[in-house]
Amino acid sequence: EPEVTQTPSHQVTQMGQEVILRCVPISNHLYFYWYRQILGQKVEFLVSFYNNEISEKSEIFDDQFSVERPDGSNFTLKIRSTKLEDSAMYFCASSYHRDYSYNEQFFGPGTRLTVL
Amino acid sequence: EDKVVQSPLSLVVHEGDTVTLNCSYEVTNFRSLLWYKQEKKAPTFLFMLTSSGIEKKSGRLSSILDKKELFSILNITATQTGDSAIYLCAVDFFGNEKLTFGTGTRLTIIP
């Protein structure tokens, strides 16, 4: 069964460093998302991406964050200068279709980011 | 502000018991409600309920949506230790692409 994959599974970085989290969405999906989950807290939406551009973003997704689809398969989240509070599990998700009825999103296994 | 509230926050039952997990929501332009199971890492999709599909069943799991009272329940019958997980409820609404999640219910099944 097709699934969303993410690499790395765990990333440790120093505060102020740049990190890139990678995702390969399900191949025929058109919409891509990043969420994060700080330990013990809710899953929070960061950004959605469609047709090679950001379609929606949350307040969390400030200028330190960027997303890119560099080729036909990868979808990346870059954090330019990491802060301690960026430590979280980052989930990538994708969905095939988003019409007026549904938005069924499938999640990857996550990347645990630890900022020291 | 859109809100999704799940209860209870945690639940411990014995294997074989039946459990009911609750999710209530306050969102404008509701489109669908989704249930996910989160074990070690990724939320795994279970059900999506919409105005045209307010009841879903898969094996021992079933879910209903009450659009009038703005809540959903997830039932698990004859629970097994493999059902131990955090169950997440998320709501999707028109005019937005994000899913708004509740805090989850941590379910523990004791053998």
pLDDT in tens, B7-34: 999 999 999 999 999 999 998 888 899 9
pLDDT at site B5: 95
Structure tokens at A77: 């989240």
CA atoms of A102 and A105, how far apart (whole Å): 9
Contact B94/A at CB under 8 A: yes
Contact A98/B at CB under 8 A: yes
CA distances in angstroms from B5 to A114, A115, B78, B87, B91, listed in the order given: 28, 30, 25, 12, 10
Name the closest residue on chain A to residue B98, using Cα atoms.
A45
Q: Averaged in consecutive runs of 10 residues, what is the pLDDT profile of chain A (116 residues)?
A: 91 97 92 94 94 92 94 92 96 80 85 97
Helix (H, G, I), strand (E, B) or coil at A86: helix
Contact B104/A at CB under 8 A: yes
Which residues 6-65 of A are in CB contact (within 8 Å) with B?
A: 31, 33, 35, 41-45, 48, 50, 55-56, 58
pLDDT at site A40: 87
Q: How many beta carbons lie within 10 A of that of residue B66, not counting itself? A: 12
Structure tokens at B89: 């409820």
pLDDT at B104 over 80: yes
CA atoms of B66 and B64, how far apart (whole Å): 7
Determine the average pLDDT of the residues in B54-62: 92
pLDDT at site A97: 67
Give chain A's largest Cα–Cα span: 43
pLDDT at site A72: 77
pLDDT at site A101: 54
Contact between chains at B42 and A110 (C-beta distance less than 8 A): yes
- For the stretch B73-103, pLDDT in tens is 999 999 999 999 999 999 988 877 889 999 9
